Structure 1
Amino acid sequence: MTINRRHILQGLGAAFSLAGCAPPVRPLRVGSIVFPGYEPLFLARELGWLPADQVRLFELMSNTDTLRALAVGQLDAAQLTLDEFLTAVHDGVELRIVNVLDLSEGADAVLAHPRLPAGAPLAGKRIAVEESAAGAVMLTSFLQAQQLQPEQLQRIPSTLVESVELLRRGEVDLVVSAEPWITQLEGLGARRLFDSRAIPWRIVDVLAVRSDALPLHAGHLATALKAHFDALAHWQRQPEDAARRTAPRLQLPPKQVANALRGLRQPDAATARRWLSPGSPLLERTLTLQTVMLKAGLLRQPRELADLFDTRYLPT
């Protein structure tokens, strides 16, 4: 069934309108796409650790949709890549990072169709890539690694879901993808040419919250963060149960869920606090990422970033 982005956002808006009838302090509204690193909150909801009257999760088709809903106030918070966070902030959305969800260490990749011989010239090939900041960062890094100019590849805009079918039908030669779709693509015989291990700390996932939502939802946010880390602990203690519960959302057999997580480094609360504290390496990496995005034309001008990290709501 084809899902129309306009219908998704209209339905999201309707859900938010209904929320206006709730008690004065409505639930914290958190947006997310399907991605293994974002699953702990959904697992917490499945386990009953995320009260619906405190936190409501909304799944969207792409982070482009998530950013749009966040910008207009239909969402209070969102699970995003760090580059998408920077894009939103530079577009004037006042946000704070309150948690580091994961570092991509192979969970984002460029894959080749199995018919493309190893070492074959890539100039002129068709590459499927999502119109998102993460897609742009991966594509730019891949082009640099291959010493190619952007005009040497035929860019085919697509969502991560659509790109699997494009490769299956042989309509593209290369795909910029992320888990869990990488696992699906490798199941079709696609092979990795490049992944995020080559660009450490370049793709980081965070929980970002609108600044104007923080005073109203401090308690709800603390509940959400505790649930996130409790779910991570459950995943470590009972991986088979966690895989069974998350497999339907990831559209993978339970036995393949572990593969979808293999390229992610997911910090515990103490590590997340350390990474978000003043003087941490994450701030340096964020500044470096801002510079990369400025040079690539993804951002217009630099801005101060030191005030964008907030550790107050993390569990102690």
Structure 2
Amino acid sequence: MRLGWPQILSLIPITVSIASCDGEGLMGAPATLRFGYDDWPGYYPALIAAERGYFAEEGLIVKATKRDDTDALFADFGAGDYDAIGAALGDIVDLTLVHPDFHIILVTDISEGGDAVLARPGVETIEDLRGKAFGVNLGSFAELFVLTVLKSHGLSMADIRLVHTDAAELPAKLKSGEVDAGHTWEPFVTQAQDEGARVLFTSAATPGLIQAVVAVRGEVLRERAKALGAFVKGWFKAVDYWKAHPDQGNTLAARVLKVGPNTISLEGIRLTNLQDNIQLFKAGETTRSTYYTARLYVDFFLGSGGLTRKPEVEQILEPRFLN
């Protein structure tokens, strides 16, 4: 787990790389993209790509804005405030109910311990959750993760009391006693631990289930393919740099986010490069295929009522830029 994350995270969006023009670029000017993301290191290649000049090399300026409220990020994306966002695969699948013209162009990372179920003192095991108040962002990918955790220990959703809780809110709700346990991700896992919570279960036990992605609006996909291609190329350059130079990558991201250099880490997160994405965007029968994993979320949300119609996964996933 990462150590030293700030205990209080700003609710004010952090924006970097101010854009100079719209569209694909006028009279040779760089094209621009507006990218929204929440507090998850898997989205930080956007920051590193800007700092290292990888986007500029591709003729692109990216305006990246960090949001600490995931629901607000999705609402603003739906309203057209962003061209692309970083989000969980399951969340994009769920959002297609209202916004069927969202498309996934790459997988940023796979959570391999970065997501966790935590509990207050006195709740020592998953079995102890029976009858307890459990904080989770309802209608999000986290519901399937929590169900998977419960089923692995002989429990169901009916055995706990669900309390709608954004990941960023969980540490405070655990501390106040509003919930007894809940799901969140880093850096909030470490924050909750520092305040006395204990980890009961992590995504290391659910390989491939929690994938994070970059999703774009349909009109951007149709009208600004060149800019998206530049974004993907710059992104993967940053991924390769960060994996080869983890300390330097951590420092660059920390500088943009205005946090201490030791507060950024990829522990529990597997960044996915171009070759990883090419494999993930192939059909398969395990969570090593994003098509398969997306269908798991489709089936879950159809069963839970989160979706009332079945989206076509092939229409959501767009692999054309993976070359």
Q: Are 1:35 and 2:40 counterparts?
A: yes
Q: Are 1:283 and 2:291 counterparts?
A: yes
Q: Give the corresponding residue for 1:88.
A: 95
**Relative to total residues, which structure has the larger helix share, 1 or 2?**
1
Alpha-carbon distance between aligned partners in 1 of 2:96 and 2:109, rounded to the nearest angstrom: 20
How many angstroms does 1:196 deviate by? 2.0
Alpha-carbon distance between aligned partners in 1 of 2:246 and 2:309, rounded to the nearest angstrom: 44
Q: Which amino acid is 1:312 matched to?
A: R
Structure-to-structure mapping, 1:211-290, within 5 angstroms: 211-247=218-254, 253-258=260-265, 261-277=266-282, 281-290=289-298
Alpha-carbon distance between aligned partners in 2 of 1:252 and 1:115, rounded to the nearest angstrom: 33
SS in 1 for 2:300: helix
Q: Are 1:166 and 2:179 counterparts?
A: no
Q: Are 1:54 and 2:67 counterparts?
A: no
The range that moved more, 143-152 or 96-105, is: 143-152
How many angstroms does 1:119 deviate by? 7.0
Report if the CA contact (8 A) 1:30-1:76 is conserved.
Answer: yes
Q: Give the corresponding residue for 1:137.
A: 144
How many angstroms does 1:254 deviate by? 3.3
Structure-to-structure mapping, 1:57-136, within 5 angstroms: 57-118=64-125, 121-136=128-143
Q: Give the corresponding residue for 1:195.
A: 202
**Change in 2 beyond 3 A, CA 1:83/1:114:** same
How many angstroms does 1:19 deviate by? 5.8
Q: Which amino acid is 1:296 matched to?
A: S
Report if the CA contact (8 A) 1:98-1:313 is conserved.
Answer: yes
Q: Give the corresponding residue for 2:4.
A: none
Structure 2 portions without partners, runs of 5+: 1-7
How many angstroms does 1:81 deviate by? 0.9
Report if the CA contact (8 A) 1:129-1:156 is conserved.
Answer: yes
Percent identity between matched residues is 26
**Change in 2 beyond 3 A, CA 1:125/1:252:** farther
Q: Which amino acid is 1:269 matched to?
A: L
**Change in 2 beyond 3 A, CA 1:164/1:231:** same
How many angstroms does 1:149 deviate by? 4.3
Q: TM-score, normalised by structure 1?
A: 0.82
Report if the CA contact (8 A) 2:283-2:289 is conserved.
Answer: no
Q: Give the corresponding residue for 2:154.
A: 147
Alpha-carbon distance between aligned partners in 1 of 2:215 and 2:290, rounded to the nearest angstrom: 15
Q: Give the corresponding residue for 2:318.
A: 310
Alpha-carbon distance between aligned partners in 2 of 1:133 and 1:87, rounded to the nearest angstrom: 7
The range that moved more, 241-250 or 290-299, is: 241-250
SS in 1 for 2:82: coil
Question: Over the residues paired in the alignment, what is the CA RMSD in angstroms?
Answer: 3.3
How many angstroms does 1:309 deviate by? 2.5
